[in-house]
């Protein structure tokens, strides 16, 4: 089920040759291809959508976050509708599926994008910055005026192991008082307590409660990684997000990619990493 569209969707992930990257293929439209690239970003309000020649793929961030964090560089994603399925609202099921499928090492060096100098995007009290680092690190700060959320922060070096245990299980979330307005906007038609955390004015409505005390912040990190994945290469840098959202994430990516003086591209040999991998 798609979170916002509410329509059923079938998805299959296939291996792809070295150098392919992550490519969505609309199986209902003669396998029309939409690469997961910042150049194809179309909408970034409540989800990140990609479009090429009028063909849309919506809510891409969870799956892209998993690919990126689990070290999958090349895959075809065959999908028969316009929105990636929400599953349980987290990246956990995708991690489990990819882990069960396994992965293959390809005979081509992975290429990294390393940030050379600081770059920021900011506005309306929100900001996202990336500074040079030899690793991929994230610092996320969020605030909602709610007794179960408030201010939450998380600082993490993203590795497959830490991602699968600490980030992937965190679910998308929302607030009961916003539901009618969002539905009137054509959003969250597929939302339920089975695929999202929902708060009323003082508590959480989900019978099982929260998976982490700071699940909201962890999910924001999941989303952020999915948007950064649109760079198309693993990132070496420290990202500091302060109340940022999809639009600001994507603006940072576009700012980086529009100025080649901000980064350099290195091979895995230069950063002492293994060969590139493909979804198995």
Residues marked as catalytic? 246
Alpha carbon 39 to its chain's center: 16
- Rounded distance, CA 35 to CA 23, Å? 4
SS3 142: strand
In sequence order, the β-bridge partners of residue 23 are: 35, 76
Q: How many CB atoms lie within 10 A of CB 171?
A: 26
Q: What angle do CA 241, 245, 246 make, to 5 degrees?
A: 120
Q: How many CB atoms lie within 10 A of CB 155?
A: 12
- Rounded distance, CA 221 to CA 214, Å? 11
- Rounded distance, CA 239 to CA 132, Å? 9
């Amino acid at each position: 089920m798609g979170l916002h569209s509410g329509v059923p969707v079938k998805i299959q992930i296939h291996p792809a040759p070295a150098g392919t990257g992550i490519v969505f293929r609309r199986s209902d439209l003669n396998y029309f291809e939409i690469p997961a690239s910042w150049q194809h970003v179309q909408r970034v309000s409540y989800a990140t959508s990609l479009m090429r020649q009028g063909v849309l793929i919506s809510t891409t961030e969870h799956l892209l976050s998993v690919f990126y964090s689990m070290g999958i560089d090349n895959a075809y994603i065959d999908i028969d509708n316009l929105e990636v399925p929400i599953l349980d609202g987290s990246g956990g099921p995708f991690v489990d599926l990819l882990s069960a499928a396994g992965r293959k090492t390809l005979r081509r060096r992975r290429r990294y994008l390393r940030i050379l100098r600081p770059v920021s995007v900011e506005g309306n009290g929100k900001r996202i910055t990336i500074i040079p680092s030899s690793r991929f690190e994230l610092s996320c700060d969020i605030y909602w005026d709610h007794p179960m959320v408030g201010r939450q922060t998380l600082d993490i070096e993203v590795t497959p192991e830490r991602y699968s245990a600490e980030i992937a299980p965190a679910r998308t979330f929302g607030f009961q008082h916003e539901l009618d307005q969002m539905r009137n906007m054509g959003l969250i038609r597929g939302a339920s307590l089975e695929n999202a955390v929902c708060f009323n004015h003082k508590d959480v409505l989900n019978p099982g409660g929260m998976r982490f005390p700071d699940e909201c912040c962890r999910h924001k990190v999941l989303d952020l990684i999915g948007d950064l994945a649109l760079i198309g290469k693993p990132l070496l840098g420290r990202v500091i997000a302060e109340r940022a959202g999809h639009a600001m994430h994507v603006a940072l990516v576009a700012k980086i990619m529009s100025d080649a003086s901000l980064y350099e591209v290195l091979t895995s040999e230069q950063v002492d990493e293994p060969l590139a991998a493909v979804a198995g």
